[in-house]
Amino acid sequence: MDSGTGNKLTFPIIFQDRTRILMVFTVFFLIMGIFNAVVSADKLPSSVAETQKITIDTLIDAIGSLDEETRMNLVTTKNASASSFSMGKGSLISSVIYTDTLLSNGGSISAVKNTGFDTSSVKSNLYNVDSEKVFSYTGTDGALLTGHESLMLLTAGNYSSSSSDSEKCVLISTTSSYTPAFCNAIRVQGTLTNINDGQVSTKSQLTSIGSSNAAELTYLIAITPDSSQGQSFAKGSVRTEFAGSIIEARDKKTGFSSRRSSSSSDTWKTPAATNEWKDVIEIIGGIKTLQKAYSYKSGVKV
């Protein structure tokens, strides 16, 4: 894992057989980078003057109950309030919620996890949220494991020239020249329920800050049997979900008389494109292999 903090995920000997899964993830990132190189993004707010970089590195090799949770709430705004989410003239908002939990009532677990949070305007190929983990679990005496990891991203822009306009996430009128308004909400999550044994690898990456950056989210998950324990199947229930709701206007408003055209209208603040999607998979029982790769990047023609 390489985040804005510069940390890298290293694998102990017990995890060397997991590199095959991570190689698949690497190929996926290279392919996505090729397709995403030709666009920029819906405008994101830049970072404030004081920023933070947070790293959390975890290594577990234990027998017994487990209760582990990592959470990050990150709201960044421009010309808006981070507490009320109300939007006025020239407002930009990005809001991120990241959670990752593991809970078991016994059994043995070996895990390595690296998480980084960076509240600055990160450079290319670095992320505001960057987390990667690999673990194997074997339940004993009826013990089971549950887990949940999720990323939620909201980006919104209101380019009204009127300070009296104050809305939460809408497209509204203007009298000057501004970029089209937008309101995008993305959610991805992976849930483990009553896992008896198996091996799990995940990667979560998200960009939400930086006026020259794209709003971007990637989530990868793989579940396989633990070959070191002679397992043929991972056992339990796994569910993943990827969903989004997009509202975009079409043209910028040319309200100044020197730039007004005959087609000058309020199309910039009228929903011209909406997009909603949802992908869900759930498996209950024995799992030989399950891999899901989700990616979102917001682009605007330049």
Residues 29-77 pLDDT 10s: 343 443 333 334 457 899 999 999 999 999 999 999 999 999 999 999 8
Tell the burial category of 71 from Cβ atoms under 10 Å away from its Cβ (0-12, 13-18, 19+).
exposed
Find all residues with CB under 8 Å of 207, minimum gap 6, and list them. Answer: 44, 122, 127, 128, 213, 214, 215, 216, 217
Could you give the CA distance from residue 261 to residue 252 in angstroms, rounded to a whole number?
Answer: 12
Helix (H, G, I), strand (E, B) or coil at 14: helix
How high is the mean pLDDT of the chain? 79
Q: How confident is the model at residue 269 (pLDDT cuts 50, 70, 90)?
A: low
Give the tens place of pLDDT for each residue, 168-198. 454 444 444 445 578 899 999 999 999 999 9
Higher pLDDT, 225 or 183: 225
Question: What pLDDT, on a 0 to 100 scale, did the predictor assign at position 267?
Answer: 60
Helix (H, G, I), strand (E, B) or coil at 296: strand
Which of 82, 79, 83 minimizes the C-alpha distance to 163? 79
**Rg of the chain in Å (alpha carbons):** 22
Helix (H, G, I), strand (E, B) or coil at 15: helix
Helix (H, G, I), strand (E, B) or coil at 155: strand
| Kind of pairing between the strands at 87-118 and 145-158 | antiparallel
Give the tens place of pLDDT for each residue, 13-36. 333 444 443 444 444 434 344 333
Is the pTM for the entire model greater than 0.75? yes
Domain boundaries, the chain: 13-297
